A and B are shown apart, each in its own frame.
Chain A
Amino acid sequence: MKYESQKIAQHFYTFAILLFFVQVLVGLIAALQFIWPDFFLLKFNVIRDLHINALVVWLLLGMMGATYFVVPEESQSELWSIPLAKFQFWATVVAITAVILGYIWMGFDPQANKYIFGTLLLNEGREYIEAPRWADWLIALSVILFLFNNFMTMYKSKRWTGIQGTLLGGLTFLTLMYLPGMFYTKSMVKDQFWWWWVVHLWVEGSWEIIAGALLAFMLMKVTNAPRHVLERWMYIEVALVLFTGILGTGHHYYWIGTPKYWLWVGGIFSSLEPIPLLLMVWDAFRTTRKHRVISNRLGLFYATSHAIFNFVGAGLWGVIHTLPQVNKWTHGTQITTAHGHLAFYGAYVLLVISMIYITLPLIRGVTEFNTSRGYRSFWWMTISMVFIVLSLTGAGMVQTYMERLVGLDYVTVKANYNLWFWALRAIFGLGFVYGVFLFVLDFFKLGREPVEAAAPANVSETTA
């Protein structure tokens, strides 16, 4: 680590992975509620709100932390203001904690979620963006402070690298795309239309731009590949992400009451969405092969896995049901859940973890660390996630057939024909929780325990 301000990244990482652990714990409760709806004090809706909101927030915090590391490094200067970054961190922690407590309160007393000045006090009742309006403003303010601090750092240093320009572009786009979720519409169709602007243009737009920039940075860090080559490929990747992804939003506008031309727009452009993701996989392998001086094998291992599972989860598991002819039958089934799980895991969970493994040793000032737990955590998480996704895909296929084609009742299919898929999902969910536990443990121990002689960078341990 070259700059004092990069230490701020660790604050964000710590809060992020604690939320990650909360996310998977409530995820396990949700999985069991599919079998026993009354299992646990809080009902499924609150548990799921916690599950998906913790996901979005911890990934965002992880990306913020990563940005606080990347920007000083790229600008070759300290952050514009460290106190501002610290304030932004603690303000975010307070706001997020308040939102979480609000959800839990609402879980015990649904009537507590009242309309005050026309907006709901505790929960907006819109998937992923449940945070109430007052929290929306606090979150937006936090992101604006964060953007401003990083922008000023770049502006003062006058070193506009491609990586940080793209990162800044992605983060600005992310901030702007939060706004379409902040107004009320009387029509449920318009409500969902604008809601997808936020959700789709985040995960398949701005977040992928950030991912492209961070992947380029990581490859440069661990393989020493020349910047101009990495940046050229980064531009091509993020360009293709947006060329396909922006109009690819159309695949959410098939059946919600929007005009028919979206079937064409969405079908064509979203079918092309896997291409840039495949390019990222090729980029990761090509760079590694060409530049064999690897400084952090575990970090590179996670970064490459991120590229692969981004392609498989977001790309392949998305494209199988993206054509309107197919989607007509699969829309609103567990196929979507399967896609959602693998896409978030591959595209963003592995991305943030790889950023942590690449930057944390530098922040803690260690050149070698035990990697065994990091690999074990990877295999526990990845194998469990693959089987969770296969279980959900199976459930989705059964549901599509039984409910949509044969015409059986939703509850019948869920309670009888899919019961064993829920059981499988819960069992592998437990495996996933164990993998995350190992990762959390590793995060706190990294660089703080004696290095075992054979442990660092020993690839043979990957099967442990």
Chain B
Amino acid sequence: MSNRGVRNLFVFGSLFFFVIFIALTVDTMKKIDKRAPEITEEVDQGKKLWHKYDCIGCHTILGNGSYFAPDLTKITVNKPEGYLEKFLVHPRKVKPSAAMPELGITPDEAKKIVAFLDWTSKVDTNGWPPKPVLAAYRMPQIPGVTVYQKYNCSACHMIGGIGGTSGPDLTHVASRKPDIEWHKRHIRDPQSVVPSSAMPPFPQISDEELNQLADYLITLK
């Protein structure tokens, strides 16, 4: 083929693929909004704050970003209500080991950012991030563990290396807090015993469940 021929192949071939790409883009634009909840004014303001504080400079969202701090796509599903609002305002008061700096986020701004993150968590992402397939850590089959799992305590707390890092590690919690009554009060209303705590209260937990959970916690020495 002559050079003119390959040049034409390059120019018109590329245009051909670009036209297909534009057609797919048009189709995608029509479908995107149906794959996510409605964008309220609060969500939009939250997104603007997301940009203002350059959150993507450390975090990823929908898997894209900086890989330095946790992905936030499903963060509102994984953290209890109220926790993120507190964390965003004073990250290191809520979690002393946090790498996140104090950015001067106000409580009102935090609420909007959480609304935006909550919107993102509901986007249909074709099943991403995938659920872990090997999460088979064997915890003792006792009632307290069932309660622990029912209230998703491992979203924030860790026992034996498994679980989140937002709250204190509970692997040896009984060595620090051996008093069973302290645990019961703390679970029902954390701020009544630890005023700076960002853990939400659990008034919905039944007395029986509370006893079972506290019995389990004081075995963790």
Contacts and interface: CB of A to CB of B under 8 A. Distances in A.
Given A189-B123, A256-B125, A332-B129, A265 B24 contact: yes
Query: Which of A186, A250, A404 is the most central at the interface, judged by chain B CB atoms within 10 Å of its CB?
Result: A186
Contact of A263 (B6, B35, B68, B126): B126
B150 interface: no
A461 interface: no
Nearest to A269: B17
Contact of A37 (B56, B66, B99): B99
Given A228-B3, A412-B165, A257 B132 contact: no
Given A44-B68, A120-B52, A188 B3 contact: no
Contact of B6 (A37, A111, A235): A235
Contacts of B132: 403-407
Which of A49, A127, A169 has the most CB atoms of chain B within a 10 A radius of its CB? A127
A21 interface: no
A86 interface: no
A333 B158 CA distance: 22
A193 B28 contact: yes
Interface string B18-52: 10110011011101110110010001100110111
Contacts of A38: 99
Contact of B70 (A123, A130, A192, A411): A411
Contact of A110 (B68, B103, B165): B103
A136 B58 CA distance: 22
Contact of A255 (B36, B62, B134, B162): B62
B101 interface: yes
Interface in A318-346: 328-329, 331-334, 336-337
Interface stretch (B7-15, B179-187, B193-201, B203-211): B7-15
A311 B120 CA distance: 35
A127 B126 CA distance: 23
Q: Could you say which of B50, B66, B104, B126 has the most chain A C-beta atoms within 10 Å of its C-beta?
A: B126
Q: Pick the 10 closest A-B CB pairs, nearest first.
A: A45-B57, A407-B132, A125-B51, A332-B63, A255-B128, A37-B99, A239-B10, A407-B135, A257-B123, A242-B14
A116 B116 CA distance: 21
B151 interface: no
B140 interface: no
A38 B158 CA distance: 24
Contacts of A127: 56-57, 64-66
A193 B62 CA distance: 11
Nearest to A330: B63
Contacts of B53: 110, 113, 125
7 contacts: A48-B68, A125-B54, A130-B57, A188-B61, A188-B116, A232-B3, A232-B6
A43 B55 CA distance: 12
Given A246-B21, A328-B127, A253 B28 contact: yes
Given A187-B33, A256-B62, A257-B62, A130 B54 contact: yes
Given A332-B67, A337-B67, A408-B161, A188 B62 contact: yes
A187 B66 contact: no
Interface string B64-76: 1111111100000
Contacts of A252: 64
A186 B47 contact: yes
A46 interface: yes
B104 A110 contact: yes
A126 interface: yes
Interface in A385-405: 403-405
Given A189-B123, A407-B135, A48 B20 contact: no
A247 B18 CA distance: 8
Given A332-B64, A332-B71, A247 B165 contact: no
Contacts of A407: 131-132, 134-135, 162
B129 A404 contact: yes
B171 interface: no
Nearest to A257: B123
A270 interface: no
A259 B31 contact: yes
Provide the main secondary structure of the chain B interface: mixed
Contacts, number: 214
B32 A44 contact: no
Interface string A108-148: 00110111000010011111001000000000000000000
Contacts of B60: 332
Contacts of B158: 409, 412
Contacts of B9: 235, 239
B133 interface: yes
B123 A113 contact: no
B80 interface: no
B81 interface: no
A236 interface: yes
Contacts of A45: 54-55, 57-58, 66, 68
B164 interface: yes
A33 B67 CA distance: 12
Given A110-B104, A188-B61, A235-B6, A410 B70 contact: yes
Interface string A444-461: 000000000000000000
A106 interface: yes
A82 B125 CA distance: 51
Contact of B52 (A113, A231, A236, A258): A113
B14 A246 contact: yes
Given A246-B18, A263-B126, A231 B3 contact: yes
A303 interface: no
B58 A44 contact: yes
B54 A259 contact: no
Nearest to B67: A337
Contacts of A260: 126
B63 A331 contact: yes
Nearest to B33: A187
